[in-house]
Structure 1
Amino acid sequence: MSVAKKYGHVHGEAFMLMKYACVCGHRETIWNSRDGVTPFGMVCPSCGKPNLRHVNWQHDVYAPEHKLQIGQRFWRDGTPDEAEAIMRRRIEQEQNTCSLKPKIAEELIQSIRDGATDYKFRNGWPIIDQNNG
């Protein structure tokens, strides 16, 4: 059983300081500021490739009172406004390859805002953020 679960959290990675590493050599510690799942990997801020991975899980540190350093990244819950913005960008990018009728696009966006359609945007979906002070 994970430390976080011992403290009554639902997810093992709740409030953990987690190490991420990329094949390019980039390393960073990212804090999960919530009791929610986190992506195993993401785009590396150094090389721009999708190779930044959560490593050494056994060394994650439970830190519910962690104070973010300036510039440190962290996971937080995404908002309905952010989900909508992401979907609008996706729809716009796809308009070149398929034509989505405006009414259907708006219905899709509303269902995303309601958390009903895409599992990626259900309540508590993770988004990476950065402490800018």
Structure 2
Amino acid sequence: HMTEWFNIENATLADTLSALGIKTKMAPLWLPYGYEQAYIKMTKDYLLGEDSIFAKYEDHTKHSEMFVMISKVTDSSSGTIEKDDRPVLEYVKENTTWYIMHNLQQINAVALTGNYQVLISAPVSVDEMKSIINSIYE
């Protein structure tokens, strides 16, 4: 079993996806005020054929973090997204259904686009999460 991790430096998430030849729009172009990219890490699992890209963003003044996780969906893919007891909201943008759910102070939004799962998690309002999602398609 061989897994490889590496950091992507001096590039945005959109630039990283483009450099990898991924044309599907998945990278937010707008972040809530104060958030800046901290790092991007890519993981490749050669045995399972799974790739994922994890982008972390930080707001140092609020001591707050958000992330975007893009995972290639394979036959062996599995995982859960935590939520609390509030109902899941469906938000459709550009023929993609995003599922927005609360998990205590975090808002998680997840969608399947192409053969990728995109998860955005941030301590923001539902309206701010919709703005983050909208920016993907600009």
TM bracket (short chain): under 0.3
Return the TM-score normalized by structure 2.
0.25
What is the TM-score when the length of structure 1 is the normalising length?
Answer: 0.25
Which protein has the bigger helix share?
1
Q: Which has more strand, going by share of residues?
A: 2
